[in-house]
Chain A
Amino acid sequence: MRVIPASDITKTVARLYQEANVNLPADVVAALEKARTDEASPSGKAVFDRIMENIRIAAAEKIPLCQDCGTATVFIEIGQDVNISGDSLDTAVNKGIDKACRDGFLRRSIVAHPFSTRTNTGDNTPAVIHTEIVPGGKVKISVLAKGGGSENMARLVMLSPSSGRQGIIDFVVNAVEQAGGNPCPPIILGLGIGGSAEKCLILAKKSLLRQTGKNNTDPETAALEKEILAAVNKLGIGPMGYGGSQTALAVHIETFPCHMASLPVGLSIQCHSARHIEAII
């Protein structure tokens, strides 16, 4: 049994959340640079130029990439040989988010009651935390700073199995077309296929942690990722919706077995400021 103090979780989360908000990861920067080269529209290219300049300013001056520093979405894989001592895991994570906001001058965007008073909690907590117990003696923490504008474009559909592969493509293309410029394209599409209603949405969100543009190891799933990406990029929405060829940077699909009556499909849309980061304790 390995003992990890909860304070280590707090420190790690604080570092990751602050870092995520000012330094866009190399995989996202590389995907943006490629898309800038491929972009057909002059106004689209101009949007890419501003995005790249913003990345430079944010990193150099520690100004958040986006004023929306996001819902702190934290995936934690806990080795089953680990004992966390001290604060509860949720408390440890939330203390880390609070510290990141204070030290990093991040915006607090969370309101306490969703439909009533909507009073700001003042520290950007609680984080949305997904835990998984895995073999081993380590803790892996992955953090997404997920903006509200793109999160609002998420969709769930429970397709009939007869809809099949084409039904999935049609659903995603339609959702992206409806979203238009709202989720700050060029976007990354996270898709969870299978499982159940809630499982597919969690898979969709988790797929956004993947290295941008890295295809699924299953060839059939990878082929679907490529086909959806090509279909979405024919829509013409382009960077920020001003018209162009680069509407999406990547499509990431995760699958899970499901009930014989079901074909659940969850779609999570990530804006171009894809702030993901991870660490292993």
Chain B
Amino acid sequence: MSKQINLPLSEADVKELHAGDEVLLTGTIYVARDAAHKRLIEALDKDIPLPFDITGQTIYYMGPSPARPGQISGSAGPTTSGRMDAYTPRLLAVGLRGMIGKGKRSPAVKEAIRQYGAVYFAAVGGIGALLSKVITSSEVIAYAELGAEAVRKLEVKDMPVTVINDIYGGDLYETGKAQYCKQD
């Protein structure tokens, strides 16, 4: 049975989440991947305000395919989160609370998740057509020149995700694998 969560995530929401939980997210998420993360960090370095108030918000690591006329979004699945690891602790330090991507995070990110009270969700990779259906609105809000890597504001309804890393140090990639590993 999936938990229903309305975004933005509250501190209480994060405390309730444990690695392995299936969650349906509804509300606003911000889209940013490699090039946008580089820009966000450059903005922080120069004391320039970020293009959106990141406090308590959730970032989706994603770069959609173009929408056909009449579509809200093109294909919209997660990209590999590990490439954002170099930037993530800085964003968590300034208030980021949720991340959606796929694949494992670095020890530094996992530690920052515990320290700042955040959560890392995975969406299933390679199902971008299905995930495009949970998006009810999509708008480019910054760095439009980056094309597929621009920052977008999305509204999602019942987006299916799985908790990978929680504030208690849980990591589904480790516990899930251990449960089904048949090595000696």
> Is B128 close to A, CB under 8 A?
yes
| Closest residue of B by beta carbon distance from A184 | B125
If the complex has contacts A50-B130, A54-B127, are A105 and B177 also in contact, measured as CB distance less than 8 A? no
- B-side contacts of A122, CB under 8 Å: 147
Chief secondary structure at chain A's binding surface: loop
Query: Within 8 Å of chain B (Cβ to Cβ): is A106?
Result: yes
In the docked arrangement, what's the CA distance between A65 and B67, Å?
A: 13
Which residues of chain B come closer than 8 Å to A68, judged between CB atoms?
63, 77, 79, 128
B side interface size, CB within 8 A? 47
Q: A241 CA to B71 CA in the complex, in Å?
A: 31
State in angstroms the CA–CA spacing of A273 and B65 once bound together: 16
Chain B nearest CB from A58 CB (Å) reads 4
Q: Would you call A79 an interface residue if the criterion is a C-beta within 8 Å of the partner chain's C-beta atoms?
A: no
Nearest chain-A residue to B83 (Cβ)?
A: A152
Report chain B residues within 8 Å CB of A271.
125-126
Chain A residues in 8 Å Cβ range of B12: none
Q: Let me know if B129 and A241 touch, CB within 8 A.
A: no
A99 within 8 A of B: no
Interface string of A141-152 (1 = CB under 8 A from B): 000000111001
In the complex with contacts A63-B74, A273-B126, A234-B176 CB distance below 8 A: no
The interface centre, meaning the residue of B71, B128, B179 with most chain A CB atoms within 10 A of its CB, is B128
Residues of B that sit less than 8 Å from A by CB: 20, 22, 35, 62-68, 71, 74-77, 79-80, 82, 102-104, 122, 124-130, 132-133, 146-148, 160, 162, 172-173, 175-183
Bound complex: CA A50 to CA B128 (Å): 10
Interface centre among B127, B179, B182 (most CB of A within 10 A): B127
Interface-centre pick from B76, B79, B177, B182 (highest chain A CB count, 10 A): B177
User: Mask for A56-86, Cβ within 8 A of B = 1, else 0?
Assistant: 0110011111111100000000000000000
Chain B residues whose C-beta falls within 8 Å of the C-beta of A63 in the assembled complex:
65, 68, 71, 74-75, 128-129, 132
Question: Complex: how many Å from CA A118 to CA B148?
Answer: 13
